[in-house]
């Protein structure tokens, strides 16, 4: 019997406010285990809203969203948070780094909230050692690791957010416009690392971007406007 899809949306409709416009109307989206998917779409096409549903941050008004063969609507808000911590690594568009923590502490934070990811990092040589390795791969100077994350440039903060998403080998990695603050050389380094780490872990990768120059790196490419019938302005 074939594995169940890692991500499956069917007849999903979503809007942020009860009296607001529909921002998503997706008949079907299925992503298999280990797939690397490039999801393209202009600003306002619903990319971030879609990721909020997959991450369990928001819930659809109708239809079904299943992640790792679990219907998210059946989980409590607390259970969705715990599932996200254990199984999803997310590179947020706005990074969501904690300003009072150092670079290294921000990266290892994911392992503090997830025993599963902490154990995976420990098997790879230790949580702090794995965080240091990822930051080194992303060419972030070790002299910066003890600094507060907010003392870094925007591009450096973006790399910290990527390392935090990858640590502990989550089963799904979601990247929301993750290269927007990187120059061409670092963008290549970043995508190389992301694809390499996800392949090594057998992780499913959903890479969301309007930069179609990166699409050729991914075996599966989708355009959200082709999937989304809502046609409304999304956040």
Domain limits, the chain: 35-56+84-222
87-118 pLDDT per residue, tens = 999 888 778 899 999 999 999 999 999 999 99
pLDDT tens digit sequence for 21-59: 999 999 999 999 999 999 998 877 888 899 999 999 999
CATH tag for 35-56+84-222 (out of 1.10.3720.10, 2.60.40.10, 3.40.50.300, 3.40.1360.10): 3.40.50.300
Buried b (16+ CB within 10 A) or exposed e, 157-192: bbbbbbbbbbbbbbbbbbbbbbbebbeeebbebbbe
Its pTM stands at 0.89
Structure tokens at 130: 């794995």
Residue 2 has what DSSP assignment? P
DSSP H or E segment with residue 26: strand 24-31
């Amino acid at each position: 019997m074939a594995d169940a899809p890692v991500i499956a949306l069917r007849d999903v409709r979503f809007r942020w406010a009860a009296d607001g416009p529909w921002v998503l109307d997706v008949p079907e989206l299925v992503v298999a285990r280990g797939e690397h998917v490039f999801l393209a779409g202009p600003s306002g096409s619903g990319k971030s809203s879609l990721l909020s549903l997959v991450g369990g941050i928001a819930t659809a008004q109708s239809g079904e969203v299943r992640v790792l063969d679990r219907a998210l609507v059946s989980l409590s808000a607390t259970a969705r948070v715990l599932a996200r911590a254990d199984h999803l690594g997310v590179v947020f568009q706005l990074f969501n780094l904690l300003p009072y923590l150092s670079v290294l502490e921000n990266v290892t934070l994911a392992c503090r909230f997830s025993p599963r990811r902490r154990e995976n990092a420990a098997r790879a040589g230790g949580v702090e050692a794995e965080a240091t390795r990822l930051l080194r791969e992303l060419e972030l100077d070790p002299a910066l690791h003890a600094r507060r994350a907010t003392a870094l440039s925007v591009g450096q903060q973006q790399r910290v957010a990527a390392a935090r998403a990858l640590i502990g080998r989550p089963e799904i990695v979601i990247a929301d416009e993750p290269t927007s603050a990187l120059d061409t050389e670092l963008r290549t380094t970043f995508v190389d690392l992301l694809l390499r780490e996800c392949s090594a872990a057998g992780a499913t990768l959903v890479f969301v971007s309007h930069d179609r120059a990166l699409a050729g790196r991914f075996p599966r490419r989708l355009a959200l406007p082709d999937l989304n019938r809502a046609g409304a302005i999304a956040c």
